[in-house]
Structure 1
Amino acid sequence: MVYDIAIVGGGIVGLATGLKLIKSKPELKIVILEKEEQLAKHQTGNNSGVIHSGLYYKPGSLKAINCINGYHELVSFCQEEKIPYEITGKVVVATREEQKPLLENLWKRGLENGLTGTRKISLDELKEYEPHCAGVAAIHVPQTGIVDYYQVALAYGRKFMQLGGSILLKHKVLKISTSNNINTIETSIKSIESKLVINCAGLYSDKIARMNSDEADDVKIIPFRGEYYKLKKEKEYLVKNLIYPVPDPNFPFLGVHFTRMMKGGVEAGPNAILAFKREGYKKSQINFSELAETLAWPGFQKVAAKYWKTGFGELYRSFSKAAFTKALQELIPEIQESDLVDGGAGVRAQACDRSGGLLDDFAIRESATVINVLNAPSPAATSSLSIGGTVASMALKRFE
């Protein structure tokens, strides 16, 4: 059997892409290949669960367009499938005077992206939203929400299979070769043939891309681990919803923040440090081959040279709970080290080019028989149905 489309990666973007494809053209034979024993185990399964509003992203960028469109699609999907979610709103808080211009720019960007209702709030209003939060200025973003993305991804998978799609677990892709416009995909279990491959492999998307095209020769996935703490149950009252700092505009991470979770509890974090393994969720997990690849990449060397000071700060916080607590105290001064318990970690797949640029936007590239989703970090979960629709449109042109 030759499939029309084989999707590599059973995370939220791969599943959303499969769902969009089969809804648009039910007669297509589509298979999703996932190397793990379960779907959505990595970036999706370790997601903080925020429904992002589209506040941070450059107007007109793929992130801005797909986040805002995806937001509405995601909320509709959750309503239709009765997946619990909540639109909580969030505050973004400047804790120092020099952050005020950055907060002003963020507010303007939100308005440019159509976030009506996003507004500057007084410090008294900040106390109404978050009584224990401190700052010198703040904005309120009403659109932000929370959801369990693992449940969303599983729902995508169920719908995909109900409509006739196939999902093969424990099928790790080892090699892709092409002959007469047919891709032969060798997996850890069997070989599969397809007319088109869509690469949604997340942390391994660059490696999958290099198997059958030169589309990823200029980028490499750099894995950044984000470590969380959780507030002790008796301290969860300190956070009503979501509290974010003003992000560093030169660094593609949002800084440590507080997130009330849909499945219960409050997360505090994450930091952002280099993972020594692409799926390295603990400091002790090291893959020397993958680490050597990262360290040898010219782009990473330039990133390290540029952000070494920020990097050392993040690393210090990783090993020092006191330093992590101090960063959190900028937003909630009452937080004490004893209020925090270990909360696990996620690993973000961040594409980096040879020149040392951490790709700020989603990156989707296509060749004759492959479409590669090469950079889809946050807000990819919020944007998943929109990204899936974008990729599906690219794919369906080949089957007209």
Structure 2
Amino acid sequence: MTDVTIIGGGIVGLATALQIKQQQPALSVIVLEKEARVAAHQTGHNSGVIHSGLYYKPGSLKATNCIEGYRMLLAFCDRENVPYDLCGKIVVATKPEEVGQLDTLFERGQQNGLGGLRRLNLPALREIEPHVNGVAGIFVPQTGIIDYTEVCEAYARVFQALGGEIHYSEKVEQLTPGLSLSVVVTNKTRYETKLVVNCAGLYSDKIAQLTQREPIGLQIVPFRGEYFKIKPDKQYLVKNLIYPVPDPNFPFLGVHFTRMIHGGVEAGPNAVLAFRREGYKKSDVNLKEFFETLAWPGFQKVAAKYWQMGLGEMYRSFSKSAFTKALQELIPEVQEDDLIEGGAGVRAQACDRTGGLLDDFSIIETERAVNVCNAPSPAATSSLSIGKTVAEKVLKRF
């Protein structure tokens, strides 16, 4: 019998496990991970950006967790010798009509406590990124780059040193909540546990539904983000990080340029509907999961509202020239031949029944479970803070 069983060995699950074990060393805590390694899905496929907290509504869970998590992440990496680089980024308005939204971002950043933000005109933009084009911008000094798989490996190492256990290649197949204990059955064994913590990412809604009888009222809709890499001889076009002004109506940041911590430059991602929850390639299809998405009333409302944007994203997914054109708004010198196919990630975006794409973190508690049901970007940056928040909810039960 175990005190706490955490489902999911991504960055939020491991950060939560670590926080629980640090605060209550006597509790028995295990992590169940269905893959043979940590960070195999969302965490290991992201672009490796340390987010500053610029974008998020002041006072929201995203804002508070990002800012606290940022400080906690850097302190952890300093202690555990995980490399990172606070290189800063620019956010660029490429059209005059985007300047108002840029001003809103600047004000949000200040309200969220970011010091050193600078407004930039085109000459000032080009001092930082000589090849960029735009009408105005913001420099954000707090933004950095890191390898989140390395962060996860360090979380796992410290957690296990404290006596925590990680069980790999164990996929949860059944979960039965009881009056005093829950039973978790995997493909390998059966566990009795006092409390389940669901950090299952792309399958967090499925696990959450197992913890209660009534419908949870949301569903994970998987969006694939595809990247290109810039050929080595053209990487001089990008010094650090270059972002567009995001569309305030859509929970994605738009295609951007990211220097990677281990070298190289990525360009992307787009945001297209994935045909399976772990669909990293266009050819990855799971008909059952795809039809579940299409049948969800919330997704139908999203599709009706954003169909034009969705078609544009899909077109860019299949047209390298269209993808290049989007990138040329930020760096006109980038040519189609400069791009080679990179990787892709799948974002677990929670969507409610009314068509709302949840923009904030969502934690649903039941008698025997704490479910992290929406943890999109900046969850990696915020992971230790989210883990602390979840750990506080867990420790109230003991």
Which TM-score band applies after superposition, normalised by the shorter structure? over 0.9
2:179 alignment counterpart: 180
Q: What is the distance in 2 between the residues matched to 1:357 and 1:388?
A: 25
Contact 1:7 1:32 in 2 (8 A): yes
Can you give the 5+ residue segments of structure 1 that lack an aligned partner in the other structure?
none
Contact 2:33 2:166 in 1 (8 A): yes
TM normalised by structure 2 equals 0.99
2:26 alignment counterpart: 27
Q: What is the distance in 2 between the residues matched to 1:175 and 1:199?
A: 13
Matched, 1:101 2:100: yes
Specify the SS of the correspondent of 2:54. Answer: coil
Specify the SS of the correspondent of 1:127. Answer: helix
Matched, 1:136 2:135: yes
Question: What is the count of residue pairs matched by the alignment?
Answer: 398
Report the identity percentage.
64
2:66 alignment counterpart: 67
Q: What is the distance in 1 between the residues matched to 2:297 and 2:179?
A: 36
The letter for the 1-side match of 2:226 is E
* Deviation of the 1:306 alpha carbon: 0.4
The letter for the 2-side match of 1:223 is P
The letter for the 2-side match of 1:188 is N
* Deviation of the 1:215 alpha carbon: 6.8
Contact 1:215 1:365 in 2 (8 A): no
Contact 2:229 2:267 in 1 (8 A): yes
2:165 alignment counterpart: 166
1:238 alignment counterpart: 237
Contact 1:215 1:366 in 2 (8 A): no
Q: What is the distance in 2 between the residues matched to 1:179 and 1:309?
A: 47
Q: What is the distance in 1 between the residues matched to 2:95 and 2:179?
A: 61
1:229 alignment counterpart: 228
C-alpha distance 240-63 of structure 1, shift in aligned 2 (>3 A): same
Specify the SS of the correspondent of 1:398. Answer: coil
Contact 1:209 1:216 in 2 (8 A): no
The letter for the 2-side match of 1:354 is R
2:115 alignment counterpart: 116
Contact 2:121 2:135 in 1 (8 A): no
2:210 alignment counterpart: 211
Specify the SS of the correspondent of 2:44. Answer: coil
Contact 1:10 1:33 in 2 (8 A): yes
Specify the SS of the correspondent of 1:244. Answer: strand
Specify the SS of the correspondent of 2:252. Answer: coil
1:395 alignment counterpart: 394
* Deviation of the 1:332 alpha carbon: 0.1
Matched, 1:76 2:75: yes
1:326 alignment counterpart: 325
C-alpha distance 194-65 of structure 1, shift in aligned 2 (>3 A): same
Q: What is the distance in 2 between the residues matched to 1:172 and 1:301?
A: 30
RMSD, matched Cα: 0.7
Q: What is the distance in 2 between the residues matched to 1:216 and 1:383?
A: 28
C-alpha distance 259-350 of structure 1, shift in aligned 2 (>3 A): same
1:3 alignment counterpart: 2
* Deviation of the 1:123 alpha carbon: 1.5
1:266 alignment counterpart: 265
Specify the SS of the correspondent of 1:19. Answer: helix
Can you give the 5+ residue segments of structure 2 that lack an aligned partner in the other structure?
none
Contact 1:216 1:374 in 2 (8 A): no
Q: Note the alpha carbon deviations across 1:243-278, whole angstroms, 9 max, x for none.
A: 000000000000000000002110000000000000
C-alpha distance 190-257 of structure 1, shift in aligned 2 (>3 A): same
Matched, 1:313 2:308: no
Specify the SS of the correspondent of 1:53. Answer: coil
Q: Which 4+ residue blocks in structure 1 deviate beyond 3 angstroms?
A: none
* Deviation of the 1:216 alpha carbon: 5.6
* Deviation of the 1:214 alpha carbon: 4.5
Q: What is the distance in 2 between the residues matched to 1:385 and 1:154?
A: 14
Contact 2:178 2:368 in 1 (8 A): no
